[in-house]
Amino acid sequence: MKIFTQYRHLRREIYVLFLGRIVTNLGSMVWPVLTLIETQKLNMNATTVAIVSVVSGLLFVPASLLGGHLADRFNKKKIIVFFDLISIVFFIIAAFVPLSYATIGLLVIGAACQNLEWPSYNSLIADFTLTKDRERAYSLQYLGANIGLVISPTLAGLLFKDHLWLSFLISGFSIALSTVLIAILIKDVTPVEDDSAESVYQKTNEKAPLFTVLKENRILLIFIVLIAFYYAAYQQYGYLMPIDMGKIHGDDGALIYGTVSSLNCIIVVLVTPLFTTVFKKVSYTMKFLIGAVFVGLGYGVFRLLLGFIPAYYAAITLFTFGEIIVTIAEEPYLNERIPQSHRGRINGVMTVMSSIIQGIAMVLVGVLYDNVAPAASWIFVLGMLALSFALGFVLLFRDKKRYPALYKPKEVSVEESVKDEPPDDLTV
């Protein structure tokens, strides 16, 4: 079937990164229950959790900027392997020290190292793909991440009560295995040569300062702010949702949230290939709008039917539909509009902007939750999502005018290019 064969004929390295994402996330047991660790194990209130998140975000800002700069200057594979090794050490140490605020600090430093490598990882996917193949390449990476996450949130919920330390240890070892895969199996990091008409905006311009590139592509600033507000709303899936579940269901909240998170990943695995095909001819800007609507509907169902456990699974289904549609559009949109020479830095800028807005939003959401009412915090979240939608609506009309070559009919379809492409040692 087309929905499964669409991932064929990509560069070999894309499949290695795909396997790496699966392995890493098979052991990703910390982040699904981090909010519950802070609230139920360390007795933090919503405001304190938000402050910890903001302090962590401050550490991620220089990490993202440095990571973006390194990605554009040095070997991306070596950057990934180096910072992975450092993060592994911190996760393993966290498993063997008594659970405390220091544990959170160790996890945050490990996450900062992952943040440092992310611009390299993200840019490698763009480097390894032609423009026409980029959406399905990023779709495959997203699929791999969620294949790994199908089991880990539920297992994290089961370990949460009596064996939480084991979650930290498994996370460290899973990153280690992923690092070995990338170190051994990725040998060639040479970017592909793309001479297609739609690649005109990606031409390397090494001498241009980052500020000049952004000034020439000011519409990207709308996109970056749009994404920042979207993720400020999106992150409540891992913040307000588990807090509400813990408040309503007590010790069972971690397990319920774990199963909800696992369902999220199962839906991603089953539906991402289908949505990648179904929405193939829909513009990236329209995908943002459709995705934001589904995320808003999911939050609405969750909040309106809070306490009724079956409703959580209906809510996460709607939410996940929106998450998938936005995710398969986000990275292809950005990387088709920026010079290859600046991919790392611009991805870093986007991460920084998202971190700042998410951090401010987290504090405001936490203050509203603790001092006004939980409903007020959810209204604020939906307001951020509405702002993101409004910016997406602006982008819908301005993007086509700024990047007309990306809206011209493709001379060769993906299927035709795959059929006519002679096999070589870079494709599988």
Can you read off the two tokens belonging to residue 403? 């990047």
Phi then psi for 281, rounded to 5 degrees? -95, 0
Confidence of residue 413 (pLDDT cuts 50, 70, 90): very low
* Per-residue model confidence as pLDDT tens digits over 242-270: 888 888 887 778 788 888 888 888 898 88
Q: What is the pLDDT at residue 420? A: 41
Q: Is the pLDDT of residue 419 over 70?
A: no
Local structure of 427: helix, strand or coil: strand
Q: What is the pLDDT at residue 197? A: 65
The answer to whether the beta carbons of residues 157 and 259 sit under 8 Å apart is yes
User: Which has more pLDDT, 377 or 213?
Assistant: 377
Q: What is the pLDDT at residue 424? A: 39
Report pTM: 0.77
The domains found in the chain, sorted by start residue, are: 12-189+212-406 (1.20.1250.20)
Please return the burial class of 151, using the count of CB atoms within 10 Å of its CB with bins 0-12, 13-18 and 19+.
middle
* Per-residue model confidence as pLDDT tens digits over 103-144: 888 888 888 888 888 888 888 888 888 888 888 888 888 888
* Per-residue model confidence as pLDDT tens digits over 291-350: 999 999 999 999 999 888 899 999 999 999 999 999 888 888 888 888 877 877 887 788
* Per-residue model confidence as pLDDT tens digits over 28-70: 767 667 777 888 888 888 778 878 877 877 777 788 788 888 8
182: region left, alpha or beta (phi > 0 left; psi from -120 to 50 alpha): alpha
Confidence of residue 2 (pLDDT cuts 50, 70, 90): low
Beta-carbon contacts of residue 282 (< 8 Å; ≥ 6 apart): 290
Q: Is the pLDDT of residue 414 over 50?
A: no
Please return the burial class of 108, using the count of CB atoms within 10 Å of its CB with bins 0-12, 13-18 and 19+.
buried
Cα Rg of the chain (Å, integer): 21
